[in-house]
Structure 1
Amino acid sequence: MRLDKFLKDARLVKRRVVAQEMIEVGAVRLNGRQCRSSALVRVDDVVEVAYPTRILTVKVLVDDEKVIRRKGIVSYELLKERRVSGEEKPW
């Protein structure tokens, strides 16, 4: 599954376009590396998402988009959440 689609379907980002913009500016990492929106996400990958006030680190549990879209399905495990100030750069 594509990274931008995973972020949207897992409800980490509200819209796919926003996910693509975040990936483009470097606010999302896949397994510790910057990547493209088209990067493939697989089970056990680690995704880091930098929001303005926090950084989430999650482990992918499900990479099938049909399963993720079902209500009540948890597609990731929260590994770490770190608060950051507005001026601090996440990485």
Structure 2
Amino acid sequence: MRLDKYLKVSRLIKRRPVAKEACDTGRVKINGKVSKAGAEVKADDIIEIEYASKKVRARILDIRETVRKEEATALYEILEGAEID
């Protein structure tokens, strides 16, 4: 799955255009490497996201095309940083 789509489906970032912009400006890394929006993600990858005032590291646990809002947190495990609203 594309990185920008995963960020949106998992609700680590709420909207796909925002996820794409974050990726394209170098604020998202996969396994320590700056990644573009089209990069492929898979289970066990580590994603790092730099928000304006915080940084979040999460391990991908599952990849699904769609998920309900209540179930989105089951797609990843927070390793560092704050929980996502």
User: Given the two structures, how large is their TM-score scaled by the length of structure 1?
Assistant: 0.82
Deviations 1:24-54 (A, max 9, x none): 1111001100111111110000000000110
Q: Which among 69, 72, 77 is matched to residue 70 of structure 2?
A: 72
Larger Rg: 1
User: What is the root-mean-square deviation in Å for CA atoms of aligned residues?
Assistant: 1.3
Q: Structure 1 residue runs of 4+, over 2 Å off?
A: 70-73
SS of the equivalent of 2:24 reads helix
- Residue equivalent to 1:86: none
Between the two proteins, the alignment pairs up a number of residues equal to 80
Query: Quick one: distance in 1 between partners of 2:40 and 2:30?
Result: 9
- Residue equivalent to 1:11: 11
Identity of aligned residues (%): 40
User: Given the two structures, how large is their TM-score scaled by the length of structure 2?
Assistant: 0.87
